[in-house]
A and B are shown apart, each in its own frame.
Chain A
Amino acid sequence: MTTREIMYREAIRDAQREEMLRDPTVFLIGEDLRDPWGGTYKATQNLSTEFGNERVLNTPICEETIIGASLGAALTGLRPVAELMYFDFVMRSMDAVVNQVAKVRYMSGGQVKVPLVIRTQGGGGRSSAAQHGNSLEAWICHVPGLFVAMPSTPYDAKGLLKTAIRMDDPVFFIEHKLLYMTKGPVPDEEYTIPFGVADVKRKGDDVTIVATSRMVLFALEAAAELEKEGISAEVIDPRTLVPLDEATILESVHKTNRLVVVNEGVERCGWAAEVAALVQKKGFGDLDAPIERVCTRNVPLPFQPDLENYVLPSVADIVRAAKYTLGKVE
């Protein structure tokens, strides 16, 4: 199998392109998607040129319109891929997302399907300040009826997005602004990745680190640091938060007896708490230490870079939490 090193944003674009080629009902809708701009993070570059403007729609700056129009299209049998430029802007369309998109299949008794993918990007680390750097995945996971994917690598991004576009239920596809330029191997051949299957990014024996999105890269750096001190960390990327691959996490904790959950959302009522609740319930007898959470502090995200770094999870925070579960930090 031949592979190429490509950027995350190229993986996102390639997945959309391949699905547009495969299925004429797939189309893109969002702000500034068309060339020459090709999307704020260039995830739709060249697609309007290749497929024409009728399959790559630019909208006014109105998220409720994007989601509402996409839902209508999906109900008629099209497969829209909608882009929300910033995760923070989902608030402008929250009624459509929560009350319509997530529920119409259920409320129609299954008479209609909603084959809609909502792509967006979140996360801090680039001085985007309090209104452009939030990680709101916990909000979305809280809504019954929505699937949630959160890939950390180009390979996962491409395989999961292709699966998402083919699904008949609404999918929130959450990217990260600081992952778009990261590179990774992607096969030339066609492939897809099923939802609900975690990927063990690194094998280890002493502590399990479950991390999402960009935090997976932080967790891998932390694992390398820990290895220097003789601590073997296993890093698990669930890849999809809904559905969650509970078995892989529980099996790992059964082996390591220790768990650190890393998520860029704020800690309070966050996604990490959900994983902690899962493991204390189904893996109680496997735990040798309290579960640690490494998340963003419970404050608005600062613009000032030093403050922002302080508020966001860091590699050092993960190292410290892992050592804490091993009783090596008081």
Chain B
Amino acid sequence: MRKEVTMPRMGQSMDEGRVLRWFKEVGAEVKRGEAIAEIETDKAVVEVEAFVTGTLVEIVVAEGELVPIGTVIAFIDDGRPEPEPTPALSTTAPPEPSESPAPSAAAGQEVRAPRGERINVSPVARRLAEEHGIDLAQVKGTGPGGRIGKADVEAYLAQRESVPTTPEAEGVKRVPLSKIRQTTAHRMTESKATAPHFYVSIDIEMSRALALRDSLKARGQEVSINDLILKATTLALAGYPNLNATFAGDELHLYPHINLAVAVALDEGLITPVIHNCESLSLAELAAAAKEVIERARMGRLRPEDLDGGTFTVSNLGAFGVKHFEAILNPPQAAILAVGTVRRVPAFDAHDRVIPAQLLTATVSADHRVTDGAEVARFLQKLKDILEDGFGLTAAP
């Protein structure tokens, strides 16, 4: 029987939501409680869970579309037969006594969508929890029948706030979270909590890459170090599809295109616009696309598709002189590359002579459910080879 999946209400202020991503394709099996889509509310990005086990038979609302709450966004078939129409009441033909319950009545019962367990909570406690973004499932109710009251929410709040706050923390300035900050907080917490991260670093000698940049500049073509890294990452990823992927419960989703998300720091927080189909772009095209999307991000002019469909993220703190750092995975992606600054250091050549070297440290954070250390190390080796060699960077895609 086809059951509706609707745009959920995730908070009092929410009246519409945007489908960011479908985790499942039409025809995919879904389990009750499994995340099937990601939606964006006015405050945060959240997952929509299947409320029934079955097959995703229709996606009504496409990725990127904004719809009012309650709108049907998909249908799941639970494999049960469709209910027969309820027979009309008739005074002339009373239903014959049957040995088993009428099938229509049984099917009618099924129409009620299973709901999450109701939380016993007083109205004011519910309001307070919403105002402070508290998950009521985390609050212990001490009222009659275990009801969560105002005092329980306040106790939870006090406990939550007492952890980072020291007794002498008077004069603390409280700043409400921006939407970006809220989204980052939510997504990064979710990422760290659900994806087992591991980290692998490598040093890359950048002399040739820098020489390439300089010679391109001499010919009037502006290409940044970051553009070279994006190009090298695209080339390296082509051989390592597991790093251009998503962990999806009992299977991996490997993406046919390389859509690089680029971390951009704005005053109000971090945002990761996406350059689509990098594998089909030349270095010059990639540099132009990166420049365009980063500019749109800085001007607050990003289009929904600019935030959509990233498969791998590159985060570069080199401009700040950072030598090395580790990034948190950008869900649902399986890997992220963090690069530091290019630094001039003494090194040994093949004859043990001290020579100047231009080192860059690149660190991949990866989801251990998807890949392992050796594979990530080989990917980094490939990245290193491409950048140190330099020739492949300007080849036509």
- How many interface residues does B have (CB within 8 Å)? 12
Q: Decide: A285 near B127, CB < 8 A? Known: A327-B142, A327-B144.
A: yes
Contact of A287 among B122, B142, B144, B151 (CB under 8 A): B122
Residues of B within 8 A of A306 (CB): none
Give the distance to chain A from B117, nearest Cβ to Cβ, in Å: 21
**For A289, what are the chain B residues with a Cβ–Cβ distance below 8 Å?**
122, 143, 149
B144 neighbours in A (Cβ, 8 Å): 327, 330
Set of chain B residues within 8 Å of A330, measured between Cβ atoms: 144
Q: State the Cβ distance, A145 to closest chain B Cβ, in Å.
A: 35
Main secondary structure of the interface of B (DSSP, over half): helix
B108 at the interface (CB under 8 A from A): no
**Which of B123, B125, B126 has most chain A Cβ within 10 Å?**
B123
Is A285 in contact with B123, judged by CB distance below 8 angstroms?
yes
Binary contact readout B119-149 vs A (1 if CB under 8 angstroms, 0 otherwise): 0001111110000000000000011100001
Q: Do residues A285 and B149 form an inter-chain contact, with CB atoms below 8 A?
A: no
Is there an interface contact between A284 and B142, defined as CB atoms closer than 8 Å? no
Determine if B149 and A286 form an interchain contact, defined as CB atoms under 8 angstroms apart. no
A134 in the interface, Cβ–Cβ < 8 Å? no
The answer to whether A287 and B123 touch (CB under 8 A), given A327-B142, A327-B143, is: yes
Residue in B closest to A257 when the chains form the complex, CB atoms: B124
B187 sits at the interface (CB 8 A):
no
Q: Which residues of B contact A286 (CB under 8 A)?
A: 123-124, 127
Contact (Cβ within 8 A) B150 A257: yes
- List A contacts of B143 (CB < 8 A): 289, 327
Q: A283-299: which residues lie under 8 A (CB-CB) from chain B? A: 284-289
B320 CB → nearest A CB, Å:
46
Question: Which residues of the partner chain A approach B123 to less than 8 Å between Cβ atoms?
Answer: 284-288
7 closest Cβ pairs, A-B complex: A285-B127, A288-B150, A288-B122, A288-B124, A287-B123, A327-B143, A257-B124
Mask of A239-277 contacts with B, CB within 8 angstroms, 1/0? 000000000000000000100000000000000000000
CA–CA, A287 and B143, complex, Å: 13
A327 to B142 Cα, complex, angstroms = 9
Residues of B142-188 contacting chain A, CB below 8 A: 142-144, 149-151
For B318-359 the 0/1 string (1 means CB < 8 A from A) is: 000000000000000000000000000000000000000000
Task: Name the residue of chain A whose CB is nearest to the CB of B126.
Answer: A285
Contact check, A285 vs B124: say whether CB atoms are below 8 A apart: yes
15 contacts between A and B (CB under 8 A): A284-B123, A285-B123, A285-B126, A286-B123, A286-B124, A286-B127, A287-B122, A287-B124, A288-B123, A288-B124, A288-B125, A288-B151, A289-B122, A289-B143, A327-B149
CB distance from A328 to the nearest CB of B (A): 10
Whole-angstrom distance from the CB of B94 to the nearest CB of chain A?
39
Q: In the complex the two chains form, what is the Cα distance from A257 to B126 in whole Å?
A: 12
Q: What residues of B have a CB within 8 angstroms of the CB of A327 in the complex?
A: 142-144, 149
